[in-house]
A and B are shown apart, each in its own frame.
Chain A
Amino acid sequence: METLLQQTLNGLVAGSIYALVALGYTMVYGILGLINFAHGEIVMVGALVALQTILFLSSAVPGLPPLVLLLAGVVVAVPACMALGYLIERIGYRRLRNAPRLAPLITAIGVSFLLQTLAMIIWGREFHVFPQLIDTAPMQPVAGVVVSPMQIFTIVVAFTLMGGLMLLVNKSRLGRAMRATAENHRVAGLMGINANGVIAATFIIGSGLAALAGVLFASNYAIAHYSMGFTPGLKAFTAAVLGGIGNLPGAMVGGLVLGLVESFGAGYIEHLSFGFLNSSYQDIFAFMILGAVLIFRPSGLLGERVADRA
């Protein structure tokens, strides 16, 4: 039982990071019908910029409290990634807005390679240690489950951001413009909405979330390097498809479900298959679930095109 609860917690932590990244994929897809494969690299840039800031600050001003350092890292990384997201959209995708769908897709893959290579040139090939500024030591076990402050922090931050995004999209003026642009950006333009501005805003918000996800990821695992964005990016994309791409709550649910499935997959696949499969099938297990969901609900768990997609 305590193992089950522990696995649930593991899944929630991993899943909430996937969900944050998945939101970026799904927002862009909802508005442009484009899968922005460079999104995973934003996660990496966020983590490395935050790391650079933290290292610089802790050597320039010794004795700063850890939380201040982390906050400073976030304060630099988020705007940096927002600017990067804007630049990618402005330079890479805007000119291809009316091109066949394959063109921006290939551009996205190209941007992803470009960002990885640039990061490799700037930060090198080696693995960097990301300082764990929030304690990861286990606290007093509750019902046999060990939880660290970092894990609680991750879940709380992720859920707060997701709630904030839902409010923004559903209640604010910008959110209404986003939803209108998602319906049809040409018609929205005729109604007086600055579609280019809204699309840029979508990229900026998504990139900001990705930067935070990067910092959370790096803090949890104490690791940062130039190719760290690839796997979480792929997983988050899977999560977005699982929940129904283009659908905001879908991305959140998809991320959490994927995290839980992976965790339970690693923990129980051996028992479930009577020893035939083992934890090396962890990832395959996640994709099997994705396959099953797509067979029975081709548009994802929560549906692909719903009224409030953003």
Chain B
Amino acid sequence: MKANKLFIAPAIACLAASLAAGTVQAKEVVVRIGHAGPLSGPAAAFGKDGENGARLAIEDANAKKLQIGGDTVKFELVSEDDQADPRTATTVAQRLTDAGVKGVVGHVTSGASVPAARIYENAGIPMITPSSTSPKLTQQGYKMTFRVIANDLQQGNALGKYAVEQLKATRIAVIDDRTAYGQGLADAFANAVKAAGGQVVGREFTNDKATDFMAILTKVRAANPDVVFYGGMDAQSGPLTRQMKQLGLTAKFLTGDGGCTGEMIKMAGDALSATTYCTQAGIPLDKMPGGAAFRTEFKQRYGSDIHVYAPYSYDATMALIEAMKVANSVEPAKYQPALKALNAQGVTGPLAFDQSGDIKGGAITVYNFSGGRWAPLQTLQ
């Protein structure tokens, strides 16, 4: 018995020593990744959704015990509330940079992303927005700005092609509300219509506070269009479709994501029909390559359903981590080129960026009004 004890003790010591040597060889480093979005205020649900997606991606990555640059990397999420407010967004961006994050997922809203992008650019930290669709964001010419969702221009383009090629429209009237969003969308739409061989028979304008569209619609009606497109928000497209009906204007109605909402259904009432179409950037969860699995995993982790953009925020986080893996470095300056040249498969589809940082072949889904809700019809790449 005694002899046995004596033999075991050195054996344990030996084992412990070899284990210790192992950890010294690949030490664990903590890499912080920032997430910024509204966690309070009316858009809070979108921000929380984005945060959940990013956290899930980080937990998945940590479970794999990734080796980057010879170290085992442990990712840590630093989440900040930008209240969807441009000024708060810049403060938050500064705070994230000061906290030494190696990359940022966000911001969620375009109004916050655009001013924040400059701060990340100056600090040399890549940001990937999961949900800001304003074309302005990637038009600033920044090297550190990326986006995993189709922008409004891509949306207008896809919809213009859809109107001519799928809806077989030849005479198209275009109305917008003269906001950066509405005008950008409508211009992209009109250009795509012309490129596809359709004819723009009317180009009318209103504003984002208007309620009376009878005069411009009367003018549009005289041009006898078979499709009317509106670039703007639901508060206008609701009354606008009602007034189309009132004037006996039976053309199909198309609008972008600003009118692709529950509010639009409420405001437009019985003026909606199967010939009312709208688009959303991205694809419905069921149609995503990894959609079903992601839904289950998300539900298991958080006990709630995905709001909208969680898969995009998951992919944005994964794109950062993937680029770090490829470059074998967590330093932004080193992995930024790898991010630019990334070619990976995400939950929402292929992840690859074009020259300006926009996703290549970003998907747009066309919905029409059917059975009291927006039903997905077709996904355009």
Docked-complex contact B246 and A267, CB < 8 angstroms: no
Indicate whether B178 reaches chain A with its CB closer than 8 angstroms: yes
Total interface residues in chain B, CB < 8 Å: 31
Complex: how many Å from CA A279 to CA B222?
15
B209 within 8 A of A: yes
Say yes or no: B218 contacts A3, CB within 8 Å: yes
Contacts A129-B267, A148-B246, A278-B203 known; A10 to B218 CB distance under 8 Å? yes
Say if the beta carbon of B60 comes within 8 Å of chain A: no
B216 x A3 contact (CB < 8 A): no
* Known A3-B219, A138-B246; contact A279-B214, beta-carbon cutoff 8 A: no
A223 interface hit (Cβ, 8 Å): yes
Residue of B nearest to A265 (CB): B215
Cβ-neighbour of A137 out of B203, B219, B238, B246 (below 8 A):
B246
Q: Which residues of A contact B222 (CB under 8 A)?
A: 3
Interface of A toward B, CB cutoff 8 Å: 3, 6-7, 10-11, 13-14, 125-127, 129, 136-138, 141, 146, 148, 217, 220-223, 227-228, 230-231, 262-267, 278-280, 282-283
- Residues of chain A lying within 8 A (CB to CB) of residue B205: 278-280, 282
Contact B206–A279 (Cβ < 8 Å): yes
User: Do A266 and B219 form a contact, CB below 8 Å, given A221-B211, A223-B267, A278-B205?
Assistant: yes
Partner of A146, one of B212, B215, B248, B267: B248
A263 touches B269 (CB 8 A): no
Q: Could you give 7 example pairs across A and B, Cβ below 8 Å?
A: A14-B214, A136-B242, A223-B211, A223-B267, A231-B211, A280-B206, A282-B205
Asked if B212 contacts A14 (CB within 8 A), the reply is yes
Q: Point out the residues of chain B lying under 8 angstroms from A267, CB to CB.
A: 215-216, 218-219
- Type the 1/0 row for B357-376, where 1 means its CB is closer than 8 Å to any CB of A: 00000000000000000000
- Chain A interface helix/strand/loop/mixed: helix
Which residue from chain B places its CB closest to the CB of A151 in the assembled complex?
B246
- A99 CB to closest chain B CB (Å) equals 33
B287 within 8 A of A: no
Chain A residues with CB below 8 A from B242, complex form: 136, 221-222
Closest chain B residue, CB of each to CB of A8: B218
The answer to whether the Cβ of B204 comes within 8 Å of any Cβ in the partner chain is yes
A18 and B219 alpha carbons, distance in the complex (Å): 22
In the bound complex, what is the Cα–Cα distance between A262 and B216 (angstroms)? 10
Determine the residue in chain B with the shortest Cβ distance to A136: B246
Determine if A137 and B235 form an interchain contact, defined as CB atoms under 8 angstroms apart.
no
In angstroms, Cα B204 to Cα A247, docked, is: 36
